[in-house]
Amino acid sequence: MKPSFKELEAIKLAEHYYNKNDKSFKKKYLFLKFKFKSYNVEANKTLSNLWNSFGLKSSTKFKFTDDEKLECINKWVKVLYKVDFDATANYNCKLKEFQQEMKHYHSENPDTHVSWNFPSPEKYIKELEAKFGNYS
């Protein structure tokens, strides 16, 4: 299925991160030619479907930080849903709350193991989908 203008804009935003993240022109060109040659998107208009197809995926060729992923997700939310919502600030707020809860739990239970792992930005996409639903 051909992408809408909003989807195409989101895909182009992701391309920017791939371009920025790799200094080797030949490797970058070949990868982007392969990855983005067919802008076919799924009929089910969910953020996670689009992310799985065109989002920032770390691999041996490309490494993306959580901050880069959050920045891209934030831009995608604004483009696809046309809302004034700061996904980065919301994610960071949830992260701080999680850290506070874990500190509190650890102070009350010092002999127990505490997992400090907070869900990755990719997992956060599911929360955003639950909040905003499918984009149109």
Over residues 36-60, the pLDDT tens digits come to: 556 677 888 999 999 988 888 877 6
Band (136; pLDDT cuts 50, 70, 90): confident
> By the 8 A CB rule, do 76 and 12 touch?
no
Q: Residue ranges of the alpha helices (H) in the chain?
A: 5-21, 25-35, 47-54, 66-81, 87-108, 121-132
Statement: residue 129 has pLDDT above 90? yes
> By the 8 A CB rule, do 118 and 95 touch?
yes
Compute CA 76 distance to the chain's CA centroid, rounded to the nearest angstrom. Answer: 8
Average pLDDT, the chain: 83
Which position has the higher pLDDT, 36 or 87?
87
Which one, of 24, 115, 129, 36, lies nearest residue 76 by Cα? 129
Statement: residue 100 has pLDDT above 70? yes
Band (32; pLDDT cuts 50, 70, 90): low
Compute CA 31 distance to the chain's CA centroid, rounded to the nearest angstrom. Answer: 20
Residue 37's pLDDT is 56
Statement: residue 22 has pLDDT above 70? no
Mean pLDDT of the region 87-101: 92
> By the 8 A CB rule, do 124 and 73 touch?
yes
